[in-house]
Amino acid sequence: MGDRPRKVLLIGYGNPGRLDDGLGPALAAEVEQLDLPGVTVDSDYQLTVEDAAAIAQHDAVIFADAAVSGPEPFYFERIEPKPALSFSSHSVEPTAVLALAEELFGSSSPGYCLGIRGYEFNEYDERLSERARVNLAAAVKFIISVFRTGNFDKVAAEHQSWHRRPAGEPGARAACTASSGDA
Amino acid sequence: MVVAKNGLKRVVIEPVTRVEGHGKVTILLDEKNKVQQARLHIVEFRGFERFVQGRPFWEVPVLVQRLCGICPVSHHLAAAKAMDRIVGGENLTPTAEKMRRLMHYGQTLQSHALHFFHLCSPDLLFGFDADVAIRNVIGVIAKFPDLAVQGVMLRKYGQELIKATAGKKIHGTGAIPGGINKNLSIEERDGFLKDLDQMVEWGRGALKVAKDYTVEHLELAKEFAAFPSSHLSLIREDGAMDLYDGGIRAITADGEKIFDHVAPEKYNDYIAEEVRSWSYMKFPFIKSLGPEEGWYRVGPLARVNTCDFIDTPEAEAARKEFMAVTDNKPNNLSLAYHWARMIELLHSIEKIKDLLHDPDLQGTDLVVKGERRGEAVGLLEAPRGTLFHHYKVDENDQVTMANLIVSTTNNNEPMNRAVDSIARKYIDGKEITEGLLNHVEVGIRAYDPCLSCATHALGQMPLVVELVDCEGNVIDRRSK
């Protein structure tokens, strides 16, 4: 995708009640406040099948999630549709939602994953760890620049190169591959 | 599959798929593959009740939404109903009650839609032992794309209603002790009215699919996890189905009333919970009947059985058809849950329609308060069944005790009976195949369990089936 997509959907997901798992919604909240033109912001505990309908109404979608491992402060990469055999409300993966958007609504909108590195997940508390907050700030700054420059694929390729991680490398994507906690 | 020295074997299904939650089924077989025992286990536990202790009571309706990403609205509303009584505000203003009802019917609609269209439809449309390569949601999309789209759009409509009434998707704040914090604007109302007729049409279509399936497979349904049980649900004062409020009614398998119109705060006098060593999920029972005889079903099947009528015309007509199948006696067929669930889906849409045309939703009198109490109970008919929230609050406004009986926990014994019945009928003496094991999962799915909620756990919840010998050695394990 070379030109800036006209309508972009940003979905920040995770459970703010599980510490750093709230990084996705926290990013969504910060970006929403900026009221960026052409950017629709949504947040939820986890992805759901109806997100497919929303994706089909946009030119691109960015999934923002907490990453339990992987590069700091975040990674950004293109993801491809991958149908899932089964859904539950607890675990719909971004690749599966993209596939649903394609199959049910004829969408060809590209998807991107922004995985923000978190560190603390196993307590019931509504706060981000100190290090996660630093990563969040970097991710917000980054995503604003992505929206401004507009060439999502180029940015994703550069970012991947920067982290020297081959696409799809096992363990490279800790976010955007599984529900990272639910309510 | 593992075979022990004594010849007994254990099959494990883990995780059980296309259910909301994480659990496992173990099937104990002897040397001739005769089923000795089959059980559904819940394999994850984190106590949530302790977590809310010490928190200010007004935070609880928001906090409890962390229990479950599937039905946060049900926990939100059940907790809010309890906190209404804490602040003496249980007699809500018309606007507050109708906004909450709109939220709740939106929740029921989206939950039932996801379950029917995306979790269980592969079994019904392709057959329980159809090739697993097509017996999945991708197969449904390929062969029945309209149905798959309708499922997504019905769910989306329900989710948007929740967002409009609860304020936001995460940690909704709509219901507060003694009322609601917003009304529905004319613009919001008109947005929902625009798509309403389409939802009604799709709801009718879904009901027809579920009804036709059950009627056409009635002989199968009569043999598949069909067993008599008591049924329990909330009931309106005049005997109508009421998903939001009412007294508790329990009936026997023949329809005799065990108790009726019991006030929610008296639930402890009528219901107790038994702990068994092999599962984290408790086993509730009706005290007067004892743990052996007192177990009961909840959820759509129980609600259609217990009510005297449904107060919306199309759902009531469907209820009459449903009851006619069993000569107006309670229906005790596990597979009939699907038909009952779709009656409730259409009922929810009809109620949403009535509410959207009610000007009380635009009212501005949102909160009431009265005499403060130190203890309260809130009950609700969540999509999966009766949900109990019980709290004690001290003079510093802090929660000192919380007890929750979630919908799926109420169905623990019937789900176990379903698993045992299916294992004995379909697996006994046969070579184990994926299709046969799926029969067990189909039985569990009929109840639409949310296994994470059932143990008050936070996390993903797939399900597993294990085959084990009598010494506890795992001999086979299915995990999808």
Looking at residue B33, what is its pLDDT?
Answer: 78
CB pairs under 8 A between A and B: 107
- To the nearest whole angstrom, how far is the Cα of A164 from the nearest Cα of chain B? 31
DSSP characters for B265-320? GGHHHHEEEE--TT-SS-EEEEGGGHHHH--EE-SHHHHHHH-SB-SSHHHHHHHH
pLDDT in tens, B101-158: 999 999 999 999 989 998 889 999 999 988 888 888 888 888 999 999 999 999 999 9
Looking at residue B332, what is its pLDDT?
Answer: 98
**Nearest one of B273, B286, B333, B285 to B305, comparing CA atoms:** B333
Mean pLDDT of A91-98: 87
Does residue B78 contact residue B378 with C-beta atoms inside 8 Å?
yes
Mean pLDDT of A165-171: 42
In terms of Cβ atoms closer than 10 Å to its own Cβ (0-12, 13-18, 19+), residue A67 is buried
Q: Is the pLDDT of residue B356 over 80?
A: yes
DSSP characters for chain A? --SPPSSEEEEEES-TTBGGGGHHHHHHHHHHHHT-TTEEEEEESS--TTHHHHHHTSSEEEEEEEESSSSSSEEEEEE-----S---TT---HHHHHHHHHHHH-----EEEEEEE----SS-BS---HHHHHHHHHHHHHHHHHHHH--HHHHHHHHHHHHT--TT-TTT--SSSS-----
Tell me the chain B residues in contact with residue A26 when contact means C-beta distances shorter than 8 Å: none
Q: Pick the residue with more confidence: A32 or A83?
A: A32
Q: What is the mean pLDDT of chain B?
A: 89
- Chain B residue with Cα closest to A15: B66
Does residue B157 contact residue B193 with C-beta atoms inside 8 Å?
no
One-letter identity of residue A135: N
Q: What is the dihedral of CA B240, B243, B249, B253, to 10 degrees?
A: 90
Tell me the chain B residues in contact with residue A96 when contact means C-beta distances shorter than 8 Å: none
Looking at residue B455, what is its pLDDT?
Answer: 43
Tell me the chain A residues in contact with residue B460 when contact means C-beta distances shorter than 8 Å: 90-91, 178-179, 182
Confidence of residue A175 (pLDDT cuts 50, 70, 90): low
- To the nearest whole angstrom, how far is the Cα of A151 from the nearest Cα of chain B? 30
Of B231-245, B259-273, B454-468, which gets the smallest average pLDDT? Answer: B454-468
Confidence of residue B451 (pLDDT cuts 50, 70, 90): low
Answer yes or no: do B149 and A104 touch at CB < 8 A: yes
Confidence of residue A91 (pLDDT cuts 50, 70, 90): low
Looking at residue B238, what is its pLDDT?
Answer: 98
Provide the CATH number for the domain formed by A8-163 in this structure. Answer: 3.40.50.1450
Q: Is the pLDDT of residue B477 over 80?
A: no
Tell me the chain A residues in contact with residue B123 when contact means C-beta distances shorter than 8 Å: none
Q: Pick the residue with more confidence: B379 or B403?
A: B379
* Pair of tokens at residue B283: 């086993």
CA distances from B53 to B57, B60, B272, B403 (A): 9, 10, 22, 11
Annotated domain spans of chain A: 8-163
CA distance linking residue B344 with residue A77, whole number of Å: 43
Looking at residue A2, what is its pLDDT?
Answer: 53
How far is residue B81 CA from its own chain's centroid?
A: 19
- Chain B residue with Cα closest to A122: B458
Looking at residue B292, what is its pLDDT?
Answer: 94
Q: Edge-to-edge, what's the strand order for the sheet holding B296-297? A: B257-262, B247-251, B230-235, B296-297
Assessment of whether the complete model's pTM goes beyond 0.80: yes
**Nearest one of B450, B344, B458, B345 to B406, comparing CA atoms:** B450
- To the nearest whole angstrom, how far is the Cα of A130 from the nearest Cα of chain B? 22
Half-sphere exposure of B1 (CA within 13 A, CB side): 15
Contacts of A168 (CB under 8 A, 6+ apart): none
Mean pLDDT of A151-155: 87
Q: Is the pLDDT of residue B287 over 80?
A: yes
pLDDT in tens, B229-238: 999 999 999 9
pLDDT in tens, B45-102: 456 777 788 999 999 999 888 766 667 899 999 999 999 999 999 999 999 999 999 9
